[in-house]
Amino acid sequence: MKLNHQPTEQGALRPLRKTLEANEKIFNSVFDSSKLSKVYTEKDAAKYVRVNGKIGMLKEVDTSNWRLQVLRGAGDTLKLTLADIEKLPKVHVIFDFKCIEGWSQVSHWAGVPLKTFMEYYHLNDKEQMKYIGLQTIDKKYYVGIDMPSALQSQTILCYEMNNKPLPMNQGYPLRLIIPVKYGVKHLKQIGTMYFSNEKPPDYWAERGYDYYAGL
Ligand SMILES: Nc1nc2c(c(=O)[nH]1)N[C@H]1C(S)=C(S)[C@@H](COP(=O)(O)O)O[C@H]1N2
Ligand SMILES: [Mo]
């Protein structure tokens, strides 16, 4: 899937750009958001979970200051504490986590389904938009997620791994877990979330990877 030494998608050469547009059409027509990724049991889950990717990762995060910032509109930002998120219904997701670098590992995560989160905070109107954008606290790593994948029932705002708070290097205090996508989309240390009909900037798509990174 990696396109070596290609310019960014926006600046892509015409033939490549056509291919990308075709991929997008195919992806959008075949993706079925009701389809579940295979689920595993707790005993299948790795105890020592791989750590990969440290772009935009802070060494420490003080959750007395940290807030998840949800941009609802101009001058309208919801600012939530970790406790706000932890009190929402929690689901466990045990799935085969796949990285485009070629490894995969069954791992165990928990948090609130993004769909439940959006309903709770009356973001239903945002579900009509095409994409969700996420950025790290320092904004150096960022991804765009198509709305059907974001609303799939196994997509969670995750704050636990193996029944414990997320380790720092695995995204404390909050990360995305989205089993229908490759690892690149599972953004660690979420700072900001927003909604858009345009494709949100995406760190690895800008470097030639497939925008959707779907499985
Ligand atoms: N902030 C941030 N999140 C990130 C990355 C990163 O570099 N920075 N790498 C991604 C990639 S490529 C993978 S495979 C997964 C790895 O998650 P893990 O470290 O919990 O195994 O995190 C994703 N989320
Ligand atoms: Mo990855």
The set of residues, in sequence order, having a beta carbon less than 8 Å from that of 159 and lying 6+ positions away, is 82, 85, 86, 110, 111, 165, 166, 173, 174, 175
Residue 87 domain-assigned? yes
Residue 97 domain-assigned? yes
Number of domain units in the chain: 1
CATH number at residue 94: 3.90.420.10
Residue 107 domain-assigned? yes
CB-based pocket (< 6 A), ligand 1: 50-57, 99, 136, 141, 170, 183-184, 186-189
The distance of Cα 154 from the centroid of its chain, to the nearest Å, equals 11
Question: What pLDDT is stored for residue 3 in this prediction?
Answer: 46
> 125 C-alpha vs ligand 2 centroid, how far in Å?
32
**Could you give the count of Cα atoms lying within 13 Å of 44 in the half-sphere of its Cβ?**
15
> 73 C-alpha vs ligand 1 centroid, how far in Å?
28
Residue 55 domain-assigned? no
Question: What pLDDT is stored for residue 32 in this prediction?
Answer: 76
Indicate the average pLDDT of the chain.
91
Question: What pLDDT is stored for residue 13 in this prediction?
Answer: 59
Query: Measured between alpha carbons, how far is 57 from 62 in angstroms, rounded to an integer?
Result: 13
Q: Which of the listed residues 48, 49, 51, 52 should we mutate to test ligand 1's pocket, taking the one with most ligand atoms within 8 A of CB?
A: 52
Residue 144 domain-assigned? yes
Q: What is the DSSP string of 81-107?
A: -HHHHHTSPPEEEEEEEE-TTS-EEEE
Asked if pLDDT for residue 1 goes beyond 50, the answer is: no
Residue having the nearest C-alpha atom to atom 1 of ligand 1:
188
Supply 19's token pair. Answer: 């291919």
Residue having the nearest C-alpha atom to atom 12 of ligand 1:
184
Asked if pLDDT for residue 8 goes beyond 50, the answer is: no
Residue 57 domain-assigned? no
Which one, of 206, 160, 204, lies nearest residue 181 by Cα?
204
Residue 53 domain-assigned? no
Question: What pLDDT is stored for residue 35 in this prediction?
Answer: 83
pLDDT of 175-197, one tens digit each? 999 999 999 999 999 999 999 99
Residue 2 domain-assigned? no
> 184 C-alpha vs ligand 1 centroid, how far in Å?
6
Question: What pLDDT is stored for residue 17 in this prediction?
Answer: 61
Domain span including residue 20: 9-45+64-207
